[in-house]
Amino acid sequence: MKKLLLTTTILAGLATSAFAGGHEVKMGVILGFTGPIESLTPDMAAAAELAMKEASDSKMLLDGKVIVPVRGDSTCTDAAAASAAAEKLITSDGVVAIMGADCSGVTTAIANNVGVPNGVTMISPSATSPALTTIEDKGFFFRTAPSDARQGQVLAEVLKDRGITEVAVTYTNNDYGKGLSDAFATAFTANGGKISISAAHEDGKADYSAEVGALAASGSKHLAVFGYVDQGGKGIIQTSLDTGAFDQFILADGMIGESLIEAIGADLNGTIGTLPGSESEGAAKFKEVATAGGLAKNDGPFMPESYDAAALMILAMQAAGSTDRAAIQAKVMEVANAPGEKILPGELAKALEILKNGGQVDYEGASNVTFTEVGEAAGSYKELEVKDGKFATVKIR
C-alpha cells in the first residue's frame, strides 16, 4: 500500500503541471497495486495514463479538456475491497469511465456491483476469464485482452507442436485459474494430450510442499502453472525446483513477468508460456511511444492492452461529444471497429481531430483491437520461452 500511496502522490504532483489550464475530466484506473500481480500493475497504469496525457496534450479532446487519472486498488483478489475502491472512484471522485479492473474475479465483482448499476463503462486490459463473455453487463463492460477460451487453445497448440503429450496442472483457486484450466484441458485432451492431475492452489501460503508433492506423484515431467507471478504460482515453481519435483514449466499470462525471473533465476531457462500480444505495426509503434513518453518499460505484460483500453474510452468520449457516461458507452464499439481511418498508438491527436470533424476512426492501437459483438478482443498471443534469463518471443499465434 505504501508503494501505491507514493506513486499516487508523485502522479498528483505531475498532474498539477501536466494537466493545468483546462477543464478536467476524471478517468478511473483500477488495478491490483497490491496483491499477487503488484509487480505488473504500475507499468499497466503508466501505459493507460500515457494515452490520457497524449490526448490531453493534443488540446483536441472536447475543445481542450484534460484528463486526470484517478487510481484505485483492486487488490486483484478481494472482491469487497475492489468494489469499495470502484464505488469511491464513481461516487466520490466522479470518474466518467474506468480503465480496469485487472484480475477476473474482482473485475466481475466491480462490474456487477458498481460499474453496471451506475452506468459506467469499464474496459479491462487483462481480465481473461471465459465467464466474462456472458456477463450481464448491459453493454458497459469491454476488454482489450482476449478470453482464456482462446488462450487454452493456444497453449494446447504450443504443447502439441513441441511434442508434449502429458502434463500436470496447477491453477490458482479463482475465476481466472479455473476458467483457464478448464479451457486448456478441453483443448489439450482434444489434441490427444493427457492431464495426469489438475489441482487448485491457494495464494498467500508460505509452504507449497504438499501441493507440489501431490503434483509430482502424478508422474508427469511437465508442470503447467496457471497462477500469479507474485504469489502462489511463484511459490509452486520455487518449491518444485527446491525439491527436484519439476524443472520443466508451462506458464500462462498471469505468470509472465520479470519479477519471476528475478526471483527464480537461471533455473527458469527453457520455460515456455503464452501472453496476449503481437509484433504488429501497432505493437512496434507502442514501444516507440512508450519510450518517448518516459516509461521505464515499453513492452511489459498487458501494457499495450492498457494503453488501448484508455485510448478507446477517450475516443468514445470525443465521438459522443460529451463526458456523459452513457454517451461514452454508446460510442466504444463505433471507434473500436471498422469503418474508419486506422489509428495506431501516438495518433490520438489525429483521431480526435477526425472525430471532431464528424469523421470515423478504426482504432487498432497497440494490440490490433477489433471487438466481437460482446465487446471483447479476439486477440493474438505470443509464444514465449525463457532464454538467457529473459522472456523471448518465439512465435505469434
Q: Is residue 4 over pLDDT 70?
A: no
pLDDT at 96 over 80: yes
| Domains defined for the chain, CATH in brackets | 2-146+280-363 (3.40.50.2300), 149-278+383-396 (3.40.50.2300)
Whether the pLDDT of residue 43 is over 50: the answer is: yes
Q: What's the one-letter identity of residue 169?
A: V
Band (pLDDT 50/70/90 cuts) for residue 234 is very high
CA distances from 25 to 52, 94, 152 (A): 10, 9, 39
For residue 154, what pLDDT is reported? 98
pLDDT digits (tens, 9 = 90+) for 318-357: 999 999 999 999 999 999 999 999 999 999 999 999 999 9
Phi, psi of 126 (to 5 degrees): -150, 0
Q: Scanning the structure block, which residue is given the C-alpha cell 459522443?
A: 320
Handedness of CA 19, 20, 24, 29 (dihedral sign): positive
Nine cell digits for residue 300: 511489459
Q: List the grid coordinates of 394.
A: 518465439
Q: Which three cell numbers stand for residue 238?
A: 520455487
pLDDT at 8 over 70: no
Residue 351, CA distances (Å) to 252, 287, 364 in order: 34, 19, 11
Under the banding of pLDDT at 50, 70 and 90, the label for residue 7 is: very low
Give the CA-trace dihedral at 299, 102, 388, 382, to 10 degrees.
-70
Find the DSSP H helices in the chain. Answer: 2-18, 41-58, 79-87, 104-110, 148-161, 175-190, 209-216, 232-243, 258-264, 281-292, 303-320, 325-336, 348-356
Cα separation, 288 vs 118, whole angstroms: 37
pLDDT at 42 over 90: yes
CB 188 within 8 A of CB 216: no
Task: Give the whole-angstrom CA distance, residue 2 versus residue 357.
Answer: 45
- Beta-carbon contacts of 63 under 8 Å, excluding residues fewer than 6 positions away, are none
> What would the grid cell of residue 53 be?
496525457
Residue among 105, 67, 79, 59 nearest 328 (CA): 67
Looking at residues 201-209, what average pLDDT do you find? 97
**Residue 330 CB contacts under 8 Å (≥ 6 apart), including other chains:** 316, 320
- C-alpha span between 41 and 240 (Å, rounded): 27
Quote the mean pLDDT of the chain: 94
Lowest-confidence segment of 2-16, 46-60, 129-143, 333-347 by average pLDDT: 2-16
Indicate if the pLDDT at residue 12 is higher than 70: no
CA 181, distance to chain mean position in Å, is 18
SS3 197: strand
What's the CA gap between 227 and 383, in Å, rounded?
17
Cα gap 324→306, rounded to integer Å: 22
Q: What is the mean pLDDT of residues 263-271?
A: 97
pLDDT confidence tier of residue 378, bands split at 50, 70 and 90: confident
Higher pLDDT, 11 or 346: 346
* C-alpha span between 304 and 126 (Å, rounded): 10
pLDDT reading at 258 higher than 80? yes
The pLDDT value recorded for residue 291 is: 98
Q: What value does the CA radius of gyration of the chain take, rounded to a whole number of Å?
A: 20
Flag whether pLDDT at 157 surpasses 50. Answer: yes
pLDDT at residue 114 greater than cutoff 90 = yes
Q: Please tell me the distance from the alpha carbon of residue 184 to that of residue 361, in angstroms, as a whole number.
A: 36
Distances in Å between the alpha carbon of 359 and those of 1, 334, 392?
44, 11, 40
pLDDT for 379: 84
Say whether pLDDT at 100 is over 90: yes
